[in-house]
Structure formats: structure tokens, C-alpha cells
């Protein structure tokens, strides 16, 4: 029954208006903390950024007001802010991981450099085979600032990366190759190998450095390389596919002196390079890799760049 001229006040919402504001503020503070932690983790992210959805799931939800224009604007703008934040974090993370600048403090060998921050750099994709490589690095690299690209740790605790002296366009690896002080040591997925192989072939043609007295080992002499990394040259005497592997046989007079073992998943990449292992009968090839002892001396292919047709 009404006792006065005023309508009774509506029942208060649980938590009240003040409780709603406090909850919204708390969630926004969580969002700010997430941004700060993300920025702090740019150089050493605890886990990879997989997708925009992954970032969206990581961000605490902000409950927009369900009434008024302000809530509509918040609901529309916040996803855009998420996308912008994701793009900024991703670009900064990639930049931090892609390049690293540090000085060279000591030359350990022709392809290993001690860095000023205590790490050891292993030059990616090449292997030095002459003492002159170390001498070259001591004169051209020691105490200079180096730009490391695509740095990754290897199983020996070193940093495996492509390196160049700061301010120079040519990489240290390419300099070593062009002077015949190293050869290409293929690493899976390295998109620089084609240009590096060109530099190596040029040094080989001009008999620079190690190529003055480093001929290929004929297939019939491949047993001397067992347990070592080397170059084997010979004519393809036959090829066969057994299940998911192709076996390429090299030898003179139709006999087998050496075998190259190729997993079937490499066939497409080899065909793109103009090398179909099942159609190379009578072709002369140069194959690089670790030689193991089997029925015949054998190299197991780990990268398509290990095979090249000889001129």
C-alpha cells in the first residue's frame, strides 16, 4: 500500500554501481599488467606467439557497459586495439630475435668466434678447412661489432647464426667462401645457400685457398672418407626406390662404388632444383656430406643442396 507521494526506489543491484566500476577497473589493470609483461618478455618470450586468437585468449576480457553509447564504442574499439597491440608486439619480437649486435672478443677457429657477452658464435652454413680462415677472421672481424641474424642455439651450447661486420653488406660466411677458406655446410631451410654455393663454385674454378689442392674424392675411393665429412664425385650407375627411400648408386662401368640415400620427402625439392634422382643415369654428380660405412660407403641426404651436377 502506498503511504506517500513518491514511488519506491528500485532494488539496488548486487555490488552496486560502485561494485561494477571496481570490477571493470580491476580487469583493466590486469590488461595493463599483461601488456607490461609482454614488453618485458620481448627478447626472451616464454612461449611463441601463435596467432591473433592466442593473443585474444591471453587478454583479460573487459566488460563493456550494456547501456549507453559509451559501452557500444568500447565494444567496437577494443578488438581493434587488440590487433594493433598484437602487431606491435609481433614486430618487436621478430626484430629482437632476428638481429643481435655484439662485439667479437676472440677468434677460436676458422668458423667459431667468442663474443664479448660470453657466448660462442658458430658461423652458420659454412665449415672452415684451412688455418688461413682463422687468420682472416683475426684481421677482419676481431674487436669489431658483429650483426647476428637468425641466431639459434645448437646442441653444443653455441649460437648458430649468419654474421656480418656492422656496416658491411657481405656476410662473413660469404667472404670466407669467396676466398676459398671454407666450403658450404648445408643447414636445412637456409635460403642463402644458393648464393653461397655460387661463391664456392667461383673460388673452386679459380683454385683459391683450399681448392688449390682439395680435389673431389672419386666414388671408387670413397672408403677413405668413412667417418669424415667430404666431397664424393662420380657417375650415376643406377637408382632404385624402396618404400620411402631412393638409393642413388655411383660408380664407373655400371658398378656401384658409393651410395646416396635420399628420403622420399626430399624428391620434390630436388626436382625443383632440376635434379630428379630417378632420371640421373649417366650424369656426373658431386655429393657432400658425412660418409658412413655400409654395404658401400654411403651419405644420407639431409639437405637438397648437398647434391650438385658437375660441369
What tens digit of pLDDT does each residue of 283-301 get?
999 999 999 998 899 999 9
| pLDDT tens by residue, 158-201 | 999 999 999 999 999 999 999 999 999 987 666 788 889 999 99
Mean pLDDT for the chain overall: 79
Cα–chain-centroid distance for residue 153? Answer: 10
Q: How many residues does this entry show for the chain?
A: 311
Long-range interactions of 217-222: CB distance < 8 A, separation 24+: 219/250, 219/251, 219/252, 219/257, 219/258, 220/251, 220/252, 220/257, 220/258, 222/257, 222/258, 222/291, 222/296, 222/297
Given a cut of 60, is residue 138 above it in pLDDT?
A: yes
* DSSP strand pairing (120-123 vs 112-115): antiparallel
Q: What CATH class has 215-309?
A: mainly beta
Tens of pLDDT along 239-286?
A: 999 999 999 999 987 778 999 999 999 999 999 989 999 999 999 999
- C-beta separation of 279 from 253 below 8 A: no
Q: Average pLDDT, stretch 200-219?
A: 91
Predicted TM-score (pTM) of the model is 0.65
Stretch 7-24: mean pLDDT: 46
Burial 23-54 (b: 16+ CB within 10 A, else e): eeeeeeeebeeeeeebeeeeeeeeeeeeeeee
Average pLDDT over residues 42-56: 49
In this prediction, what percent of the chain has a pLDDT beyond 90?
55
Domain boundaries, the chain: 21-96, 215-309
Amino acid at each position: 500500500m502506498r503511504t506517500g507521494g513518491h514511488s519506491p526506489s528500485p532494488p539496488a543491484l548486487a555490488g552496486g554501481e560502485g561494485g561494477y566500476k571496481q570490477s571493470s577497473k580491476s580487469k583493466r589493470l590486469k590488461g595493463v599488467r599483461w601488456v607490461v609483461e609482454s614488453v618485458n618478455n620481448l627478447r626472451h618470450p616464454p612461449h611463441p606467439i601463435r596467432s591473433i586468437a592466442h593473443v585474444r585468449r591471453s587478454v583479460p576480457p573487459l566488460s563493456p557497459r550494456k547501456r549507453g553509447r559509451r559501452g557500444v564504442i568500447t565494444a567496437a574499439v577494443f578488438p581493434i586495439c587488440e590487433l594493433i597491440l598484437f602487431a606491435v608486439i609481433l614486430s618487436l619480437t621478430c626484430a629482437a630475435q632476428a638481429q643481435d649486435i655484439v662485439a667479437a672478443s676472440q677468434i677460436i677457429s676458422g668458423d667459431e668466434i667468442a663474443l664479448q657477452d660470453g657466448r660462442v658464435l658458430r658461423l652458420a652454413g659454412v665449415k672452415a678447412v684451412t688455418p688461413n680462415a682463422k687468420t682472416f677472421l683475426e684481421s677482419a672481424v676481431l674487436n669489431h661489432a658483429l650483426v647476428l641474424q637468425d641466431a639459434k642455439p645448437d646442441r653444443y651450447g653455441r649460437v648458430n647464426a649468419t654474421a656480418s661486420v656492422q656496416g658491411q653488406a657481405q656476410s662473413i660466411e660469404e667472404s670466407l667462401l669467396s676466398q676459398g677458406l671454407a666450403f658450404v655446410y648445408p643447414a636445412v631451410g637456409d635460403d642463402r645457400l644458393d648464393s653461397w654455393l655460387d661463391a664456392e663454385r667461383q673460388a673452386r674454378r679459380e683454385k683459391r685457398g683450399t681448392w688449390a689442392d682439395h680435389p673431389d674424392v672419386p666414388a671408387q675411393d670413397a672408403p677413405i672418407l668413412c667417418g669424415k665429412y667430404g666431397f664424393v664425385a662420380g657417375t650415376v650407375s643406377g637408382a632404385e626406390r624402396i618404400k620411402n627411400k631412393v638409393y642413388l648408386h655411383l660408380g664407373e662401368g655400371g658398378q656401384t662404388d658409393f651410395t646416396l640415400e635420399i628420403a622420399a620427402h626430399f624428391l620434390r625439392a630436388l626436382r625443383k632444383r632440376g635434379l630428379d634422382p630417378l632420371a640421373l643415369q649417366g650424369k656426373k654428380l658431386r655429393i657432400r656430406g658425412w660418409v658412413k660405412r655400409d654395404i658401400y660407403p654411403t651419405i644420407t641426404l639431409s639437405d637438397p643442396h648437398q647434391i650438385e651436377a658437375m660441369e
